[in-house]
Amino acid sequence: MSAVRYWREPLWGGIDLMRARFTGDRFGRHSHDTYAIGVVEEGVEEIAFPEGAECTGAGEIVMIDPGVVHTGHARTPDGWSYRVLYPLPEQLQAIADDAGIKGGPPSFSRRSAPDERAARLLLSAHRAADLGQRLAADSLLRVLLARLIGAYGNRRAAARAAGAGSGAVARAREMLHASWIDPPDLQELAAATGTTPFALLRSFRRVHGLPPHAYVVQLRVRQARKLLEDGTPPAQAAVATGFCDQSHLSRHFRRIVGATPGAYQRGVRPAGAASPGEGLVT
């Protein structure tokens, strides 16, 4: 069983938020174009990163950079509940600049931290947004994010990203972005990038955290999100992004986003953003 509300607040040009309770659910390996900053309210979540798994309990902050592949599942039979916000890199950069924090794009040196003040700020800001109290949400979110950037920020991810953009892996990534609806097979991809299938598979996964086929699924889900945001019905979005049907899209969408395509669409469309109940799935 799970209960999820995913919605988009108009703050800062639009920022996505989610509150959810998960029990037997398990997220598939995925990454975000945004940061994922959350707090566990009840229970314990185990999050697996390339460098190892971390358990987060009530009152702990989770900070995941864009592009970091991870999974999530309940550590205890009762599951876990949490609240998450997904700021864009440029939004976090603007807050860092406004707070006088120098450096490149903000990156977090820790994936999680037992920070009681930050946890209280995040919960208060998230609940304020949930209730439509935008001034309070805006103020609290700025204080929260400035605190997290100041306490846990560094430039590690920016340096890692800069070093990952050359060679066969970079060319393979470009090809997948250009042909995600009907990508080449691994042998064709390797031949086009001047390497062997096994070497490409190994190096691509090392750089991006996912093998090429899983990377393409994530690209398709991201394209489906854009179509859903524009009002395309889920069944049509599924076909347009290379999934067999709506159930095929839903299976991958929920494992990556946490909500069903229909719930996501109701939460991020302007007509549904006004009501705190929109996007609720049980």
Report pTM. Answer: 0.75
Res 185: pLDDT? 85
Average pLDDT, the chain: 86
- Give 102's Cβ-side CA count (13 Å radius): 0
Span 216-246, pLDDT tens digits: 999 999 999 999 999 999 999 999 999 989 9
Give me the residues of the chain with pLDDT under 50, please: 156-165, 272-282
Span 183-225, pLDDT tens digits: 988 888 889 999 888 888 888 888 888 889 989 999 999 999 9
Res 166: pLDDT? 57
Q: Which domains does the chain have, with CATH numbers?
A: 2-159 (2.60.120.10), 165-273 (1.10.10.60)
Res 111: pLDDT? 92
